[in-house]
Amino acid sequence: MSEYRVLLVDDEEEFVSALSERLMLRGIEVDSALNGEAALARLVEKEFEVVILDVMMPGLGGLEVLRQIKSTHPNTQVILLTGHGSTREGIEGMRLGAFDYLIKPVDIEEMLAKMKEAAKAARMR
Amino acid sequence: MTKKVEQLIRAKEIGFMGKVTASLSHEIKNTLAIINESVGLMGDLLGKDAPKDWPPYSRLTNLLVSIEEQIQRSAAIVKRLNQFAHSMDKPLVDLDLHELVRQITTLAQRFARLRGVQLEVETAPESLMIHGDPFRIQYVIFGFIERALWRCSPNQTKVTLVCSPSEDMAQVIVKDQGSPEGDWLREQIAAALSPTGISPGEQDPELAILALTMAELGGSVEIEEVGKNGNKVILSFPAKMH
């Protein structure tokens, strides 16, 4: 059984599909959403310790989704994914309450380590 | 059209180019992320399900490692492109000249490699903050790096950039070990800035534009010769540009 549940949110379907499968192969329970609105709906239906959230998405942007998650699910830890070379969005996200941020393309081992820390923080709150 | 309006139009045009380039670099990063996860998944499945004594096993795992290395290489290139694109966001910002010099030197490395010249940067770890136009400062520094590379003989010489504060200015020194051209450079720069100029046939137009851009930025260009082989171009930028 998975130690924690992860919601993966990104508008790139192939990215979500491949990364979800990689995480599942490592025994992690993963759910996914392809936009911010669907992510918020999933969070109402089910509890997640960790949300992996892309910053740049059409419709509801990642930082706005982060704001709403922190207001309705303060224990859920959010790790942001940014495609930019700059860390501007990541730092802004940290100010809004994100647990951490990762820059795409992501190293899976680094992501796993951060998710583990985030899940621990979610359980402690 | 007033000079102020011309400057505003140019800033908007540069901003547009930066915006589009930054957006494209973001899209490339997304496709690299997809390739990265797909390759990672292939490696995971191969490691999980394929028998280790299957003849193509090690060949395939080596190929996957090679693809992953190329993804990281591409990601680093796209990061540089993205940083360069963001230097066009605003015409005047607070910026760290050391960081800017490191970035533009990295972008110029390929030009140096193609010429067989070593390109190095010597900057202090602390920040050297100025208020200025990052795009145009990079344009001028790059222009003088490129000219320094041209002066150098392939595979023998190097170009070094040094960055330092100097009273209320900040200096970027481009040193090369190429053929001395001090007199010619001084003459060209003076002519570009003089109202009478020199005859068009004798003027190097690119050098003239570099000199005029420096003047517009409120800076100056000084040339020193370094012994029998080498030149030193001293670019002085004001700490606060307007």
Place of tokens 């998650």: A69
Q: Band the pLDDT of A85: cuts 50, 70, 90.
A: low
What is the per-residue pLDDT for A84? 62
Q: Band the pLDDT of B197: cuts 50, 70, 90.
A: low
Q: Taking CB atoms and an 8 Å cutoff, what residues of chain B touch A106?
A: 33, 36
Identify the domain boundary among B55, B86, B117: B86
Domain count within chain A = 1
Overall average pLDDT of the B87-105 stretch? 91
Collapsing DSSP to helix, strand or coil, B1 comes out as coil
Inter-chain CB proximity A105 and B80 less than 8 Å: no
| Whether residue B115 is found in the same domain as residue B163 | yes
Collapsing DSSP to helix, strand or coil, A5 comes out as strand
Domain count within chain B = 2
CA distance B37 to chain A (A): 6
Q: Work out the percent of chain B whose per-residue pLDDT is above 70.
A: 98
B161: CATH: 3.30.565.10
Q: Taking CB atoms and an 8 Å cutoff, what residues of chain A touch B29?
A: 83-85, 104-105
A77: CATH: 3.40.50.2300
Count how many residues are written for chain B.
242
Q: Which of these, A104, A76, A74, A75, lies nearest to A89 by C-alpha position?
A: A104
Overall average pLDDT of the B1-23 stretch? 88
Inter-chain CB proximity B30 and A83 less than 8 Å: yes
| pLDDT exceeds 90 at position B3 | no
Inter-chain CB proximity A12 and B30 less than 8 Å: yes
How high is the mean pLDDT of chain B? 91
Q: What is the ipTM of this complex?
A: 0.88
Tell me the DSSP string of B105-128: HHHHHHHHHHHT-EEEEE--SS--
Contact B229, B177 (CB under 8 A): yes
What is the per-residue pLDDT for B168? 83
Q: Chain A: which residues have CB within 8 Å of chain B? A: 12, 14-15, 18-19, 21-22, 25, 56, 83-86, 104-106, 108
B56: CATH: 1.10.287
CA angle (B81 as vertex; B112, B99 as ends), nearest 5: 70
HSE-CB for B156 with a 13 A CA cutoff:
10
Segments forming the whole domain that contains residue A87: 5-124
| pLDDT exceeds 70 at position A80 | yes
| Whether residue B104 is found in the same domain as residue B81 | no
Distance separating alpha carbons of residues B97 and B132, to the nearest angstrom: 9
| Whether residue B49 is found in the same domain as residue B101 | no
What is the per-residue pLDDT for A121? 94
| Whether residue B119 is found in the same domain as residue B217 | yes
Chain A to chain B Cβ contacts (< 8 Å): 64
| Whether residue B99 is found in the same domain as residue B217 | yes
| Whether residue B178 is found in the same domain as residue B131 | yes
Segments forming the whole domain that contains residue B77: 3-86
| Whether residue B171 is found in the same domain as residue B227 | yes
| pLDDT exceeds 90 at position B125 | no
What is the per-residue pLDDT for B145? 97
| Whether residue B67 is found in the same domain as residue B160 | no
Distance separating alpha carbons of residues B140 and B132, to the nearest angstrom: 13
Overall average pLDDT of the B51-70 stretch? 92
pLDDT digits (tens, 9 = 90+) for B198-213: 666 778 889 999 999 9
A73-82, B43-52, B218-227, range with greatest mean pLDDT: A73-82
What is the per-residue pLDDT for A86? 55
| Whether residue B69 is found in the same domain as residue B109 | no
Q: Which of these, A92, A71, A72, lies nearest to A80 by C-alpha position?
A: A92
Inter-chain CB proximity B37 and A18 less than 8 Å: yes
Inter-chain CB proximity A104 and B79 less than 8 Å: no
Q: Work out the percent of chain B whose per-residue pLDDT is above 90.
A: 66
CA distance A88 to chain B (A): 11
Identify the domain boundary among B86, B103, B119: B86
| Candidates B30, B38, B79; nearest CB to A85 | B79
What is the per-residue pLDDT for B196? 76
Distance separating alpha carbons of residues B231 and B186, to the nearest angstrom: 11
Distance separating alpha carbons of residues B74 and B28, to the nearest angstrom: 9
| Whether residue B172 is found in the same domain as residue B220 | yes
Q: Which of A78-87, B14-23, B43-52, B102-111 has the lowest mean pLDDT?
A: A78-87
| Whether residue B77 is found in the same domain as residue B180 | no
Q: Chain B: which residues have CB within 8 Å of chain A? A: 22, 25-26, 29-30, 32-38, 40-41, 44-45, 48, 71-72, 75, 78-83, 86
Q: Which of A27-36, B96-105, B120-129 has the lowest mean pLDDT?
A: B120-129
